[in-house]
Amino acid sequence: MVRVCYLCRQKPSKNKQISLHKFPKFPMYRKLWIEACNLSPSDDIKSLFICSLHFVDDDINKGNQFQFFTHLKPNAVPSIGLPNKLAESTNGNENTLNNADLSKDILSKNTLDSTKKYIEEISA
């Protein structure tokens, strides 16, 4: 099975510096990730990954040229290109992610301040 990002279907790439990350084990941060990704606590997240495009640069420990893996900081929460913008599908029975908005959000990286604001909003 090919590992891809749950949110944007992106595959990991060394050339594009895209890495995949599992949901955190620490319950508080796992809950924040679940809420950010518009999932429910009952969803099976064991096999889901979120790519580095959904995190601000300050959330990522990039390491040096000799390290093969990119790690997230312990308090990192996805904040870019999230499925909070839902659009009605053509049949009206289900909600689908607006791909144009998602791509636009991913390409324009948010600042650290917007991430902090987002964490405060979903923690309240």
Nearest to residue 99, comparing CAs of 9, 1, 2? 9
For residue 66, the model assigns a pLDDT of 59
| Structure-block tokens of residue 30 | 């796992």
For residue 118, the model assigns a pLDDT of 64
For residue 25, the model assigns a pLDDT of 93
For residue 116, the model assigns a pLDDT of 59
Instruction: State the CB neighbour count (10 A cutoff) for residue 53.
Output: 22
For residue 62, the model assigns a pLDDT of 73
For residue 78, the model assigns a pLDDT of 94
What is the chain's Cα-based Rg?
15
Q: What values do phi and psi take at 86, rounded to 5?
A: -105, 140
- Mean pLDDT for each 10-residue chunk of the chain (124 residues)? 89 84 94 93 93 92 68 92 54 42 45 57 68
DSSP letter at 98?
Answer: -
For residue 117, the model assigns a pLDDT of 61
